[in-house]
């Protein structure tokens, strides 16, 4: 390969995994919110962030056709894949076999109102060579600290990670328990990620780890593999749509905008 043909390590692609078989909210990506399927709202947020191409990795033809109708790009992936990370990697390898894109934004398909600047923050962190992957955290509310469905991140904050626009730290562990003990502030983990491509490849080619299976948290596999996880601080979580009540609330919110 000639020098000028080398992949640009900072070329970004956003990949949105979307599957229909959600236990708590079946057919979730195609639920209508403010006149459009949920997956279209998420796709539009990713496009508006202007970080590079946006690819939807889906498991159903209805999602594929909805994205294509909007002029977007989607690929069908194996419906039996064990996780969203596996889904985005399969789609990425099909879409970009030459590995042109070295930075991947993994945007979940159930975040129809995620602020665009959250995606910008992920991209900012990925341009630093300090981290293998990146994610986001926000201060926990009091009623979230002991809630097992709210994942807490153990953080250290160092000035060398941050800049004038973003506060960035390193995540050392994630748990459903309220850790670290004695904290004045607990950090609510937001399940969006930025991956360096080599790290994503290593992750999906590795078996689930002991800690991952114990806590039921996929990101613990990355830590057990020795990966460094950066986490950017944001003011509030981007709430995922997991239940019928969540769907009712987001419909009210987005119709009102």
Q: Tens digits of per-residue pLDDT, 188-247?
A: 999 999 999 999 999 999 999 999 999 999 999 999 999 999 999 999 998 789 899 999
* Position 150 in a domain: yes
Q: Which domain holds residue 167?
A: 129-190+197-237
pTM: 0.92
**Do residues 90 and 174 share a domain?**
no
* Position 244 in a domain: no
**Do residues 184 and 210 share a domain?**
yes
Is the pLDDT reported for residue 6 higher than 80? no
Cα–chain center distance at 1: 32
Specify the number of domains making up the chain.
2
**Do residues 35 and 107 share a domain?**
yes
Average pLDDT of the chain is 92
Q: For residue 109, what are the contacts with CB-CB under 8 A and spacing of at least 6? A: 16, 17, 18, 19, 28, 29, 38, 39, 42, 56
Binned at pLDDT 50, 70 and 90, residue 2 comes out as: very low
CA atoms within 13 A on the CB side of 228: 13
Report CA torsion sign: 213, 21, 95, 129: negative
């Amino acid at each position: 390969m000639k020098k000028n043909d080398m992949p640009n390590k900072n070329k970004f692609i956003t990949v949105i995994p979307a599957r229909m078989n959600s236990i708590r909210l079946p057919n979730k990506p195609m639920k209508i919110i403010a006149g459009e399927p949920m997956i279209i709202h998420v796709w539009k947020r990713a496009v508006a962030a202007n970080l590079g191409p946006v690819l939807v990795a889906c498991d159903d033809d209805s999602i594929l056709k909805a994205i294509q109708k909007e002029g977007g790009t989607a690929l069908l992936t194996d419906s039996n894949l064990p996780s969203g990370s596996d889904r985005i990697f399969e789609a990425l390898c099909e879409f970009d076999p030459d590995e042109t894109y070295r930075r991947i934004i993994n945007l979940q398909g159930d975040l129809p109102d995620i602020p665009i600047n959250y995606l910008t923050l992920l991209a900012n962190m990925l341009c630093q060579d300090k981290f293998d992957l990146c994610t986001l955290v926000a201060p926990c509310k009091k009623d979230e600290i002991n809630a097992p469905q709210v994942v807490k991140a153990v953080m250290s904050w160092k000035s060398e990670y941050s800049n004038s626009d973003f506060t960035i730290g390193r995540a050392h562990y994630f748990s459903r328990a309220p850790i670290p003990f004695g904290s004045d502030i607990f950090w609510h983990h937001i399940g969006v990620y930025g991956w360096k491509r080599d790290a994503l490849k290593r992750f999906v080619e590795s078996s689930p780890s002991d800690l991952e299976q114990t806590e039921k948290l996929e990101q613990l596999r990355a830590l057990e593999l020795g990966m460094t996880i950066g986490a950017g601080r944001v003011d509030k979580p981007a709430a995922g749509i997991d239940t019928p009540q969540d769907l009712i609330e987001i419909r009210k919110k987005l119709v009102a905008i």
